[in-house]
Amino acid sequence: MVFKAIAKFIAMIPKIFKIITGVIMGIKDIFLGLAREFEEFPQGAYYLGMHAAIFVQYLGVFAFTNLFCAMQMIQNFTSCFFWYALDIFGKILYLIPQLIIMFLMFLGIPADELETQFWMFMEDIDRMVVDASGYHIIHFPKDIRDKCFNCKRLKTSVLINKANDAFGDLKDPIIPLMTGGIVDMFNGARSAVNAVLGPIGIRI
């Protein structure tokens, strides 16, 4: 009986050693994760604050400039109504060629490139006509554009690009920096628990 007990104990030594090793390695990962969190979290928080401040700044400029332009359009609405209506009418008419272009692109024909080349050609023609006569053929007169349409404001595309930059950096490196140590600590704790519970068939 004694020899059997000793043999059984000796057979258990590798398992016990494996459990102890697993627990020690898990604890090591917990402390390393804690050290990593103390080191990297401030960097992630700094990047997050910097991006948030920049985005809020852009958002404020976007709101202010667009509000100013909207007020300007409202103020000039009466005198610019004809030109606004003409612009809307032109955009409605242009829906027809746009639908044709979309259909041709669906067929594999690069109609959008032809459209771009056409308008570049028309811009060149318009510039020559303006230089010769002072009148535009594809644009409203400059004084009308300045009064009714032109307004310096932050474009929506710029704000969207800035938001995309912020969210892109949020995914990497901000979140990894702010949570990498926590993930390591969790994995270390899980390894330690699994080392203890693994022999009885329980894993987390």
Give a yes or no: residue 182 inside a domain: yes
Three-state secondary structure string covering 74-127: HHCHHHHHHHHHHHHHHHHHHHHHHHHHHHHHHCCCCHHHHHHHHHHHHHHHHH
pLDDT digits (tens, 9 = 90+) for 15-41: 888 888 888 999 999 999 999 999 999
Give a yes or no: residue 4 inside a domain: no
127: amino acid identity, one letter: R
Res 78 pLDDT > 70: yes
Q: Which pLDDT band holds residue 187 (cuts at 50, 70, 90)?
A: very high
**Of how many residues is the chain composed?**
204
Q: Calculate ∠ Cα 42-43-45, nearest 5°.
A: 60
pLDDT digits (tens, 9 = 90+) for 89-102: 999 999 999 999 99
141 CA to centre of own chain: 39
Give the pLDDT confidence score for residue 3 in this predicted structure. Answer: 64
Give a yes or no: residue 5 inside a domain: no
Give a yes or no: residue 9 inside a domain: no
Its domain, for residue 161, covers: 14-200
Give a yes or no: residue 6 inside a domain: no
Q: What is the mean pLDDT of residues 190-202?
A: 82
Give a yes or no: residue 3 inside a domain: no
The pTM of this model reads 0.60
Number of domain units in the chain:
1
Res 188 pLDDT > 70: yes
Give a yes or no: residue 149 inside a domain: yes
Res 163 pLDDT > 90: no
Cβ atoms of residues 153 and 19 within 8 Å: no
Give a yes or no: residue 170 inside a domain: yes
Q: Which pLDDT band holds residue 61 (cuts at 50, 70, 90)?
A: very high
